[in-house]
Amino acid sequence: MFKKPFIAVAFAIAALSAFGDATIPNNADLTIEIRDLTDPDYLLPTQVMVISEKDIIQGGFTSVTEILESYSNFRATTDSTGARRSTAIDLRGFGETAARNVMILLDGVPLNNPTLEAPNLGLLPITSIRQIELIPSGAGVLYGNGAVGGVIRIVTKNDAQELRPIFSATVGSWGYANTSATSTLILDQSTLTGEATRQSSDGYRHFNDSDLSHGKLTFKMNRDFDFAFSHSRSLDQRRAAGASLPSVIEVNRKDSSINDRSSVNFREAITVLSFGQQVRTTKARIHMSHRQSNQHGSYENPTYGDIAQNLDVLSLKTELSSGGDSSNDKWLTGLELGNGRYSSLYISPHRKQTQAAVYGQRSATLNDKTEINMGARYQWVKDTMATNYDAENSLTAVDVSVSKLLGKVSVNARIEQNFRYATLDEQSTSGNALTPQIGQGFEVSAEYLGGSISWWTLQNKDEILFDANDTSQTGFGSNINVEETSRTGVTANFKARVSDASTLQTQVSYVDTLIKAGSFAGSMIPGVSPWQANLTLKTNWNDRFQSQMSHRWYSSAYAITDYENDLGRHNSYTTTSLSTTYQQNNWLLSFGINNLFDVDRDAYVYDSYGTLKRSPAEPRSFMLTYRYFPE
């Protein structure tokens, strides 16, 4: 469909050239913004939603999942445990496979696993977040595998070296309590930042309590070169109620069947080392990370056995880029290496996934009103399984976009190819290797003062899905390739001032999903609401007091895993949240109410036994947060 443009861009990437300028330090009152050569110089798509720390505080959120679900305009897809830990955030209508099609990065560290498990966002305290970026498209070149449905970049406060310490305490419904502290020691041309968080909750359901401990140290050096080293450790001790039978939940929405309950201790350690050096007009950057986790626990039903899983992921990026922002011709080229190892009680010894990639990106400003961005990636991957079974593939991603200013309206067009290969859990040692899925997309958007509108389409070839009725690999179902699927959507954002103090923001989106070939031909992707809408009213009553009310609506969707669409649609609902914030010189108090009108809604799961199960949403809950930041 897009072969000729892709070939042209591949040749254009070879023409990358150096041109740049050093950045200038900007000294603020309480925050030092230092030129940081360890940060990437990525040219991101225009359709990027940025969620600031101020947005998080004023929104009254208590978890990363709540933030992403609110701003992505898609409902979050959680695991069947009901613990809202392993969470898939959908950006382009992927439903239950969003965990493998949406890339999530924490300070440049990929949180996506080489397994079916979604990233554990419950391990990340929101008090440490400085900014979140939602990138719905155009990121396959920079991030490679798993960016078919977009990218979520989470940046912590350690990237902005704050002079003042921050202490925070939150209490709320269902026994929720969270305390955290962050402080920075200023040394000679370097800083040492430490943070600690302790969080506990009884959970709104029976058998759903948790206890989280998190700590992180970051050392940064700014000399002729920039150097950063960080190490974090997290321990999540939790009990999960799990999705349950409708007959059980109808009696008590907080209850669950004993067979669905589990207990687990989840430990994770992340180590990151970054180095940046300016060489004349070129910036050199190295980013290396190691993420290791293990889970140990058991199911309440002893016949289900124990839980034991280990994961070890190592990645390395080396990049060269133009050195500054003043050039009309910017470029970046890089090399990426990665290795992931995975084992569990049911998979022994380790399964391993090795990958390598080269990529490049270039931006050229033709005149004051026209800009062209283009990039390409070549990636190799090899899976090594426990029975001497190997799967090896070579893949490409390409991206071309044009932006033009027409009066006060910026018009953008983008064409892209991206890919996803199977995780270690999806590949079978008893059958044929799964073919990597290839996505080809096109997007047109317009931005203007007070709003934007975009239309996009994404065609996937050989999309990887789970078929609970296919017993070719196991009696519980098989992962399969579906020959062709499509997603087409439109999103409109409007922002208007309704008074001197109040601003109304509206986001409405529609996505049409369709499986075009294979045994599910004619079906819609389950777990995806075709229509979503968000209405947010922000009011600044004075310099110290602000409030925000957000009302979201999701249309009905098919149950997760119901690719036959034979269970009917479920769960069209609205949900409302309200938060207020009051700030004095060096302290802040915020109060939030989630699910203000106590809407009784559910997430539906169609499991491998052909049984429909449900995880009820949290009822109305209250959160009160106090933050103190002495000078």
Domains of the chain: 3-628 (2.40.170.20)
Query: What is the distance between the alpha carbons of residues 343 and 293, in angstroms, rounded to a whole number?
Result: 11
The secondary structure element, H or E, covering residue 68 is helix 64-72
* Whole-number pLDDT of residue 326: 54
Token pair 């101020």 is found at 54
For 461-499, write each residue's pLDDT tens digit. 999 998 877 777 766 778 889 999 999 999 999 999 999
260 DSSP assignment: G
Q: Are the C-beta atoms of residues 82 and 243 closer than 8 Å to each other?
A: yes
CA 312 remoteness from chain centre: 20
* Whole-number pLDDT of residue 31: 46
- pTM for the full predicted model: 0.88
CA atoms within 13 Å, Cβ hemisphere of 63 = 21
Query: What is the distance between the alpha carbons of residues 384 and 325, in angstroms, rounded to a whole number?
Result: 43
* Whole-number pLDDT of residue 420: 93
Q: Residue 68: name the closest of 171, 169, 151, 177 by CA.
A: 151
Which tokens go with 153?
A: 């970049």
**Identity of the amino acid at 178:** N
* Whole-number pLDDT of residue 243: 84
Query: What is the distance between the alpha carbons of residues 310 and 308, in angstroms, rounded to a whole number?
Result: 7
Query: What is the distance between the alpha carbons of residues 186 and 166, in angstroms, rounded to a whole number?
Result: 15
* Whole-number pLDDT of residue 46: 66
Q: Residue 307: name the closest of 344, 341, 343, 342 by CA.
A: 344
* Whole-number pLDDT of residue 13: 32
- Torsions phi, psi for 619 (to 5 deg): -65, -175
66 DSSP assignment: H
Query: What is the distance between the alpha carbons of residues 519 and 485, in angstroms, rounded to a whole number?
Result: 12
Q: Residue 353: name the closest of 474, 436, 285 by CA.
A: 436
Looking at the DSSP bridge assignments, the partners of residue 132 are 51, 154
Looking at the DSSP bridge assignments, the partners of residue 445 are 412, 454
User: Low-confidence residues of the chain, pLDDT below 70?
Assistant: 1-35, 45-46, 73-87, 158-163, 323-327, 346-349, 387, 429-431, 474-475, 608
